[in-house]
Amino acid sequence: MIKFAEISNTSLAPAAGPTRPAAAPKAVIRKMGGMGHLVHDGHPKAEGVYEPEEGPACHDYVHGENVKKLPQMKLMKPHVDVTAQEPPTKMQEKKASVTALPGQYPLDSYEQVKAASAYFDEWKDHFSIEDRRAYAVNMVKRANELGIPVSATARKYGAETLAPVEELKFAFAARRALLSDAGAIGALNDLERLVLEVREGADNGVKVAAMGHVMSPEILAETLSQLDQQTGLAFYYETKYVPDPFFSMYGVEKTAAFSETLGNQTVTADDLEFLAKNRIHLVKGTFDLEMAKEFKTDPVGIYKSLPVAQRKILANLAKSMNSSDPVV
């Protein structure tokens, strides 16, 4: 078939596109009021006659006024009578029954004591020497009651007895090395002899008296503190060249070296202390971080507190790191 033309301007092929039909015109209806006040007829309303939307008269309704009180309000009591009522008392916060310092650092629970022990080890140098001593005494006493191990430093500060003889001699020797005045050195030597005499008497159950007083660790520490102030040695407390009076005087007598035989090998306190000091990452990897921290603080004490199976693991780590023969 031959195709002639695509556009012929007929209904089959119109020349223009389709157009939309014209919209029908909208009917406009004028709004007119047919009732009520929409159409006011200009005549006054008779008395008592209301518009349809206002409704009929009811109760004590007065035309043109709002109802001041609804009848249903009789059933409601929106006000509360507080006559003769006492104001609520403020709840008192529960205070700790045991603290390391008056009103500070609670020691009631196991976790509180552990936190207080860790806090002392980290921040003890920020305390005054008097607060350092008081804090340690209370914390160590509570730790002993709950069976919680504490650091050797905390135990020394919190001790109730004089330090071992070697520690006492070291404290006086450190002071003597910094003095040049003969009078000050003589006074220090006299106090040292008295302290060692008291220490020996304590070992033998004998109380030593001087200057009209029975010499106690408290009096000796106070006397040493006064001497340090007079000779200028107190300046060296913060430098660690001179231990403060409480650290100098108090201490715990060392017990016999610990050892335990597991299988055909024996683990000693030296083995455990070496592991805690030099290979603590092995303890952390074998157990956990919390246990590693406690073991580093008190290797022998934590070792003793473990079940046999865990003691053997820890002993194996200690022996393999401190000797050529691991526990089998």
Give pLDDT tens digits for 11-55: 455 555 555 555 556 655 565 555 544 445 555 555 555 555 555
169 and 244 co-located in one domain: yes
Domain span holding position 148: 109-157
Average pLDDT of span 279-297 = 90
* pLDDT of the residue at 273: 86
Q: Is residue 5 part of a domain?
A: no
Residue that is last in its domain, among 229, 249, 269: 249
179 and 242 co-located in one domain: yes
- The pTM for the full model equals 0.55
Give pLDDT tens digits for 265-276: 688 888 888 898
Give pLDDT tens digits for 74-104: 555 556 666 777 776 666 667 779 999 999 9
273 and 219 co-located in one domain: no
pLDDT at 247 over 50: yes
Nearest to 311, CA basis, from 237, 252, 261, 242 = 261
124 and 198 co-located in one domain: no
The DSSP line for 20-43 is: PPPPPPPP-------SGGGS--SP
Share of the chain above pLDDT 90, in %: 42
Q: Is residue 63 part of a domain?
A: no
H or E stretch covering 104: strand 104-106
Q: Is residue 317 part of a domain?
A: yes
* pLDDT of the residue at 124: 94
Find the DSSP H helices in the chain: 110-123, 129-146, 152-157, 165-176, 182-203, 217-231, 245-249, 269-278, 280-286, 289-297, 299-305, 308-322
**For the chain, how many structural domains are there in total?**
3
* pLDDT of the residue at 147: 84
| pLDDT band, very low/low/confident/very high, at 324 (cuts 50, 70, 90) | very low
Residue that is last in its domain, among 231, 249, 267: 249
